[in-house]
Amino acid sequence: MAPIKLAIVGVGKIVRDQHVPAIAANPDFELVATASRHGTVEGVPAYKSIDEMLAARPEVRAVSLCMPPQFRYEAALAALNAGKHVFLEKPPGATISEVEDLKRIAASKGLSLFASWHSRYAPAVEQAKTYIAASPLKSMTVTWKEDVRHWHPGQAWIWEPGGLGVFDPGINALSIVTHILPKPVFLTEATLEFPENRAAPIAASLTFGNADRLVVNAVFDWRQTGKQSWDIEAETEAGNMRLADGGAKLFIDGALAYEAPEEEYPNLYRRFASIVKAGTSDADISPLTHVADAFMLGRRKIVEAFED
């Protein structure tokens, strides 16, 4: 089959670092255009807006939408209305309802919608899921602590309403947790720490439960300097596991049990090609639902101002 002609909308760091190399390495796709106010990709025709790109390049069959989530719905709507398949960077939107709307529209037009969660494709995630499935789960603890100044320097939008603050990385953890747990959980308690000068939280502690009395505790913190932590630990009746480094490594009872080269974005584009070929969608909203629940149920605590 001829490659799927693809355009990227919203060209920033994640596009250059991850999307472009993953697309280049995948024979199912051919990157034929970008649309972005400022960013471009060397050697690829660049347009200033998605509307301009869609008008100029009717051969485009699919778009990857990588702008901040507050602007994703409009671009997705334009793409779906033009008959294109849509890949949504995470989080898939600024609200649950708008993503549900996109799901309805894509389904009504027979187009594929992919709500991508790159951390689910980290090397050891499937091994962790298999380990947990084999024995009754007793508890789970998530520690996601990183230095926002290092990972998001000067990115103002993450501090705006809809930018989600520390839930921008935290939702990666939630995307793994919702994938590997044998049974859904729901939030029972949360505290969100808002810097006094910011509209989004810099830290959060969350407790989830379910009908089986499983307890999942999660701590997200953007003020971590030095060693960074992206760990999910689980205690099962057969033993303990730690999914470390954002899903890169699996430790069982303290010993390294699995690691493999990181291929999150290559895997995302393989998945996108497969749903486009199959004529299906893959748009699980559950990580975003947990975030919305945390904003609704969480207790707000005002903390020290944050300056970039």
Residue 134 backbone phi and psi in degrees, to 5: -80, -15
Among 59, 211, 227, 261, binds a copy of itself (CB under 8 A): 211
Shortest approach of a copy of itself to residue 37 CB, angstroms? 20
Burial class (CB in 10 A: 0-12, 13-18, 19+), 164: buried
Q: Under the criterion CB under 8 A, does residue 77 sit at the interface with a copy of itself?
A: yes
Q: Under the criterion CB under 8 A, does residue 96 sit at the interface with a copy of itself?
A: yes
Q: Under the criterion CB under 8 A, does residue 1 sit at the interface with a copy of itself?
A: no
Among 44, 82, 275, 297, binds a copy of itself (CB under 8 A): 297
* Interface stretch with a copy of itself, choices 55-63, 140-148, 149-157, 181-189 (CB under 8 A): 181-189
Give, in order, the Cα–Cα distances in Å from 157 to each of 141, 203, 264: 29, 17, 24
Nearer to a copy of itself, 153 or 161 (CB): 161
Q: Under the criterion CB under 8 A, does residue 151 sit at the interface with a copy of itself?
A: no
Site string for a copy of itself, 243-282 (x = CB under 8 A): ----------------------------------------
**Cα gap 289→287, rounded to integer Å:** 5
Q: Under the criterion CB under 8 A, does residue 228 sit at the interface with a copy of itself?
A: no
**Cα gap 12→157, rounded to integer Å:** 13
List of E strands, 155-228? 186-195, 203-209, 215-221
Distance of CA 222 to the CA centre of its chain: 17
Q: Under the criterion CB under 8 A, does residue 293 sit at the interface with a copy of itself?
A: yes
* Interface stretch with a copy of itself, choices 6-14, 136-144, 247-255, 292-300 (CB under 8 A): 292-300
Nearer to a copy of itself, 246 or 287 (CB): 287
**Cα gap 124→179, rounded to integer Å:** 12
Tokens of 216: 């999942």
Nearest Cα neighbor of 292 from 142, 115, 174, 184 is 174
Burial class (CB in 10 A: 0-12, 13-18, 19+), 28: middle
Binding site for a copy of itself (CB under 8 A): 73, 77, 94-98, 100-101, 104-105, 161-162, 164, 184-187, 190, 194, 199, 210-211, 286, 289-293, 295-300
Active site residues: 90
